[in-house]
Amino acid sequence: MSGVAGRSGRKAFVPNPAQRNMVRKLTGWGIPQQHICRVVTNPQTAKPLDPKSLRKHFALEIGTGAVEANVTVARLILATILGWPPPPGTGAITNEWARANLAIFWAKTRMGWRETSVDEHRGKPGYRDGAYRRSCAIPEIRSCLSLSRHCGES
């Protein structure tokens, strides 16, 4: 007994810094909470935490883990596209094909661009009947990257 009315003999769980760091990283990597519970143990019982205890004691880590991972990935993608040095803890991606694909990914997900194919025919001024005009903005990214490489820009 702890000597305090209404309390059992077990002390409250207090997470250590290593557990906090592990929960933050696992959350950032997209591991579900029920799986994270299996690897975080209570030192008093040597049993895994239940999901309710995980959410109670690691609320900050659960809330910020995914944000920190997204920031790191976004910084790496942007640095790669623009040719900047990579953020600490990451490696540079120098492959031009990968840079172009990352630029396309960024344009689609962050800028709202999309690959479109517009078929315009019949009745449009300047076009013969049955003529098609295809428009697509994404290849422009590849051509801009190749031009900047040839002009000495990065």
**pLDDT at site 34:** 95
Q: Write out the E strands in the chain.
A: 41-42, 47-48
Cα–Cα distance, 73 to 26 (Å, whole number): 15
Q: Are 41 and 49 in contact (CB under 8 A)?
A: yes
2 in a structural domain: no
80 in a structural domain: yes
Could you list the residue range(s) of the whole structural domain that residue 27 is in?
A: 14-92
Domain co-membership, 134 together with 149: yes
31-52 pLDDT per residue, tens: 999 999 999 999 888 999 999 9
Domain co-membership, 19 together with 87: yes
**pLDDT at site 8:** 64
18 in a structural domain: yes
**pLDDT at site 151:** 46
Cα–Cα distance, 43 to 55 (Å, whole number): 18
Question: Structural domain tally of the chain?
Answer: 2
Cα–Cα distance, 51 to 121 (Å, whole number): 59
